[in-house]
Amino acid sequence: MKRGLLFLAILVAGCGQLKELPSEPGPGSGGDPIDQTATFTRVQAEVFTPTCARLGCHDTLGQQSQQVLTPSRAYAAVVGVPSVEMPQLMRVAPSDPANSYLYRKITGAGITGDRMPQGGPYLSDAQLKLVRDWIRRGAPND
């Protein structure tokens, strides 16, 4: 009995290492209305291209985690694609930001490895909301 409790205590302590999961919907919580202008075109232009597809990162040269986020390849690389680091999750699960590993990576909650962009500076609340609302809209290729 005592050994069982000790094992349970270690298990709970170990799990605690995984950062808490992102609460839906994240910064500015409380069911904030979905921005219908949060299109994939904006996510690509305002986040992926300037910040993620940097040389040696998620560009065609670096291909970090086999994920290329350049304009012609990003959509197919993330929507409905299992994560390398956490294969039980999709990189982007349409309509479900909390279980989209890419959203977790940019918020830093519920991840392994580094928060993205690696080394910072991290995305602003407005950029996080843009990615979150695009996913909440069903992650359309629009």
Asked if 57 and 49 touch (Cβ cutoff 8 Å), the reply is: no
The one among 22, 44, 51, 68 contacting ligand HEM by CB under 6 A: 51
Instruction: Select from 4-12, 14-22, 29-37, 84-92 the region that touches ligand HEM (CB under 6 A).
Output: 84-92
Chain position carrying tokens 């985690």: 65
The one among 38, 40, 43, 58 contacting ligand HEM by CB under 6 A: 58
Asked if 49 and 68 touch (Cβ cutoff 8 Å), the reply is: no
| Residue 127, CB-side half-sphere exposure with 13 Å CA sphere | 17
The one among 25, 26, 74, 91 contacting ligand HEM by CB under 6 A: 91
Taking residues 96 to 135 in sequence order and writing x for each that binds ligand HEM by CB under 6 A, - otherwise, the string is: -----xx--xx------xx-xxxx---x------------
Helix (H, G, I), strand (E, B) or coil at 19: coil
